[in-house]
Amino acid sequence: MAALSHAVYFTLKERTPAAAAALVAGCREWLTGHPGTVSFSVGTVADYDRQVNDRDFDVALVIVFESRAAHDAYQQAPRHDAFIAAHAPTWAKVRVFDADVAAQIP
């Protein structure tokens, strides 16, 4: 069975290091430790100035879930809802990329 990669790219209304740090902290507080999580990563846009790099975001969140069912449960979890309630007012744009991925690299 394939795992599901849930990648979210946040563009903030206030595009400052402090605002990005607050969102990263919120992701760590509310979005870690959900059942079925295989991996969790969050951080800020990297300083790469290459033609192929999309830099129209401030914070990237990537969570890999063991299954679509685990992802779907996460989407309805009270901690996920609390994260959205606490941080959505700071977002100018949110892009979500979900992909079926191999659970492990051989």
Q: How confident is the model over 21-74, as pLDDT tens digits?
A: 999 999 999 999 999 999 999 999 998 888 888 889 999 999 999 999 999 999
Which structure tokens are listed for 58?
């401030």
CA distance 20 to 24: 6
Which structure tokens are listed for 71?
């992802």
In total, how many domains does the chain have?
1
**Domain-embedded: residue 67:** yes
Structure confidence at residue 53 (pLDDT)? 82
| CATH number where 35 lies | 3.30.70.100
CA distance 13 to 70: 31
**Domain-embedded: residue 30:** yes
**Domain-embedded: residue 38:** yes
**Domain-embedded: residue 35:** yes
pTM over 0.85: yes
Q: Strands 91-101 and 59-65: what pairing?
A: unpaired
Using the predicted structure, report yes or no on whether residue 105 has a pLDDT greater than 60.
no
**Domain-embedded: residue 102:** no
List the domain range (segments joined by +) for residue 69.
17-46+56-91
**Domain-embedded: residue 78:** yes
